[in-house]
Structure 1
Amino acid sequence: MPENMPADSRERGYSVEYCNMEVKDNKKWNAGRQKTEWKGLRGRAVICLLAAVSGCVFGLGGCGKAEEKAPVSVSEDGKSTEESNGSKVSEDELLADKDTKDVVNFDRRLDEYQPLKKEYNFYFTYKVIHPWWDAVAIGIEDAAKQYEEDGIIINYEYLAPQDVSAQDQVRRLTEAGAEEFDVIGVDVADVEMVTPIINSLLEDGQKVMTFSSSDAAKEDGCNRIAYVGNTHNYEDGVDLTEALCKKLGYQGKIAVLIGTEGAPCHEERSEGARDVIAKYPDMEIVETAYDEDTVEKSYQLAKEFLARHEDLAGFVCCNMSNPVGAARAVIEAGRENEVVIVGMDHDQEALRYLRDGYIYALGVQDCYSIGFDTVQTAVKIADGCLPGESYPEKTEEITTIIYQESAAAMLQTLYGVID
């Protein structure tokens, strides 16, 4: 670990395209890391995943009517009907473009809003160091770059703990509130625990928004200014579980792997799953467990469920990690032809399992757009714009259900995998 790295940053993680980054004391450090390929539709892509966790501050460089977002898009067959842009590409590249361009939109540009300042300072904290939030980070970074092209500097911190902890999140928010940030953004780890600190920061004059996958909304007693992210986690749980039930002929025993206890997105998806299963008299949920959003724990839990239930028919997986853990356990048990798995998001291993038929369906969120829109909304909040003027109170991002036919194209688009 570099000696000039802030001591309190050793537990943090971040992914960024550059390997030299500027920290608070303006010293440069270069941490060892593993490179991961993310090939976007614009051909962009090497980002760096920190092999050792780190905390970073980046210098990257009037209110109107809010823009309406498109409704949630769910693909029944995993294919897009979008036409190609007419450029000469290979058949494989065209397939990847057609099947994925509406799932993750890398072709984002800043809207027409004109920032009132030349420099902004933002603080973003999220649940846990995890590849899902690395994808959000790419959108944040690209938005900051586009502002820089317009002469606007976006300084930001993007920080999280190694393990999910609402107490840790409260601590981070408290510390951020003592500094001079234009906007504080949080992906809520636990609504009940985090809402009081959000409201306290607002009472002290801080501007606080929520982002990513978990909101603490007005109906929860939270006064946060706005939310950018998934507004339909319950519906995602419903859609995935309906796909599972149809595949199973509406009969069988199901296990649900939730994720992190108290995390709104995970709890809402599991609630959607429970409500769907309850509709069908020949189906029942026989196991439910929290895996703390880790592959290792979800794998262990899935092994236990399979051992206890020789007739287990399916898994509903409510986060990005547990489809991988469930698939590993099912394959290890030799029951891949008996057990149907549905789950969330774009983990590379999960997409390979989808491609190879071990996972039946994945709900992929547009993490890139979540990050991109978070920065745009933060700029407007910092300028004093209110929800409904130049941005909505809730910016709705899409989730697309993809199946085996689309997995290879998604792997190629996101990771450059063509085997």
Structure 2
Amino acid sequence: MKTKRASAVLAATLAAWLPMTAAAQGQGDLITPIDRKLTFIFVPKVIHPWYDVVAEGAAFAVEEMKQRGIEVEVVWDQPPQADVVDQNMRIEANIGRQPDGLAIACLDQATNVQLMKEAVEAGVFVTSFNSFCDDAFQFIGPKSSKQDGFDLGERLAEILGGEGKIAILAGSLTATDHVQRIEGFKEALAAHPGMEIVFEQPDDDILEKAVELTESVLSAHPDLDGIFASNASNPIGAARAVQNAGKEGEVHIVGMDDLPEAVDFVCSGVIDALKAQRQWDMGYWAVKYMVAMNENHTVPMFHDTGSRFLTQEDCQ
């Protein structure tokens, strides 16, 4: 009897205590207020005007955070060229600085992911953007760029009536977004056996190299019909070379992104079509999500920022 009475008292005590515990540990109590300046470091693939637009989005988010009373400093650590070793050295050095957030655009999936794991183990909040790395890390951007390449392949096939000789400016061979765009482009061309790829070379995301490669292929294949440019630099490089050769309207160009010079080439008819990403959103949401991580919020592991076609009709 004594044991039963003791059990009843314990049960009553627990019943009274559990609701109090639940109330004291509500979800709002899980959030950590920010009471210091946060430092976020962005490590892109290369110094490039494309990332200037990412930085604009990040700066806008910083101003929004300021309105909430949260001070954020954004630091950019950009390799001058798309060099895997250089980028990894920068990532490793920045892990040692123990920032409040590290945003990485993957240039080499395997080695970048290993360093990102090390950053997490060191207690650094990590996000990724632009080029997908791994499902273990939050990512902002198109998870697969294959569809963009496929869409541009279909557009070029439509322009050329499914016939012609094609060159590919392949960007960086280790960048997943560049590789996936080429895969998608070739998949689209597979349905058009009259389209032959006669040239494919990496330009390493260097505009001047894209110009040189295009000049080379125009010389080797004077009957070239089309060019696929897989990143933000090489549509401009291809267009400069085609225009200098007096072959605008004869050699058709499709490619990625909407840098101002590329848009000017679209409006003048030298470039036929671009698929433009929304990199401003990448910078904006990277800052917002890294603040949220520091506040102990949950964040989506994947945020697709999308892309859109840009043609001469959009210049009207």
Give the letter for the 2:128 counterpart. T
Change (3 A) 1:63 1:142: farther
> Aligned partners of 2:168, 2:71: CA distance in 1, in Å?
44
Decide whether aligned partners of structure 1 residues 115 and 269 sit closer, same or farther in structure 2, where only a CA change above 3 A counts: farther
Q: How far apart are the structure 2 equivalents of 1:254 and 1:285? A: 5
Shift of the alpha carbon at 1:172? 1.2
Partner of 2:289: 377
Matches within 5 A, 1:1-400: 116-118=33-35, 119-211=37-129, 213-218=130-135, 223-224=136-137, 226-386=138-298, 391-400=299-308
Residue 278 of structure 1 contacts residue 284 of structure 1 at CA under 8 Å; is this kept in 2? no
Judge conservation of contact 1:258–1:290 (CA < 8 Å) in 2. Answer: yes
Q: Deviations over 1:218-271 (max 9, x none)?
A: 3xxxx32x0112224111111111111111101111111121120111111111
**3-state SS of paired residue (2:289):** helix
Identical residues among aligned pairs (%): 34
Q: Distance in 2 between matches of 1:347 and 1:204?
A: 37
> For 2:117, what is the secondary structure of its paired residue?
helix
Secondary structure at the aligned position of 2:72 is classed as strand
SS at structure 2 position matched to 1:124? strand
Which residue of 398, 401, 406 corresponds with 2:309? 401
Distance 1:375 1:303 in 2: 41
User: Structure 2 length normalisation: TM-score?
Assistant: 0.87
Residues 206 and 63 of structure 1: CA distance in aligned 2, closer, same or farther (over 3 Å): farther
For 2:205, what is the secondary structure of its paired residue? coil
Aligned partner of residue 336 in structure 1, secondary structure: coil
Runs (5+) with no aligned partner, structure 1: 1-61, 65-113, 409-419
Extract structure 1 runs of 4+ deviating beyond 6 A.
none
Distance 1:267 1:63 in 2: 42
Counterparts in 2 of 1:174 and 1:327: CA distance versus 1, 3 Å? same
Contact 2:125-2:290 within 8 A present in 1 as well: no
Q: What's the CA shift string for 1:308-336, capped at 9, x where partnerless? A: 11221101111111111111111122221
* AA partner of residue 132 (structure 2): D
Measured against aligned partners, the alpha-carbon deviations of 1:165-208 in whole angstroms (never above 9, x if no partner) come to 11111111111111221221111111122121111222233222
Matching residue's letter, 2:97: E
SS of structure 2 residue aligned to 1:287: strand
TM-score, normalisation: structure 1: 0.66
- State the Cα RMSD in Å: 1.7
Instruction: Report the structure number with the largest CA radius of gyration.
Output: 2
> How far, CA to CA, are the matches of 1:302 and 1:135 in structure 2?
26
Specify the SS of the correspondent of 2:131.
coil
For structure 2, which runs of at least 5 residues remain unmatched after alignment?
Answer: 1-25
Deviation at 1:63, TM superposition (A): 7.6
Q: What amino acid is aligned across from residue 402 of structure 1 in structure 2?
A: L
Task: Deviation per CA, 1:360-385: give whole Å up to 9, x if none.
Answer: 00111112111111111111222233
How far the C-alpha of 1:151 sits from its partner, in A, is 0.9
Residue pair 1:147, 1:153 contacting (<8 A) in 2 also = yes
Q: 1:130 to 1:252 in 2, by over 3 A?
A: same
Deviation at 1:153, TM superposition (A): 0.6
Write out per-residue CA displacement over residues 96-119 of structure 1, whole angstroms, 9 at most, x where no aligned residue: xxxxxxxxxxxxxxxxxx873133
Amino acid aligned to 1:400: R
Judged with a 3 Å threshold, the aligned counterparts in structure 2 of structure 1 residues 122 and 280 are, in CA distance, closer, same or farther, namely: same
TM-aligned CA deviation for residue 162 of structure 1: 1.0
Q: Aligned pair in 2 of structure 1 residues 63, 333: CA closer, same or farther (>3 Å)?
A: farther
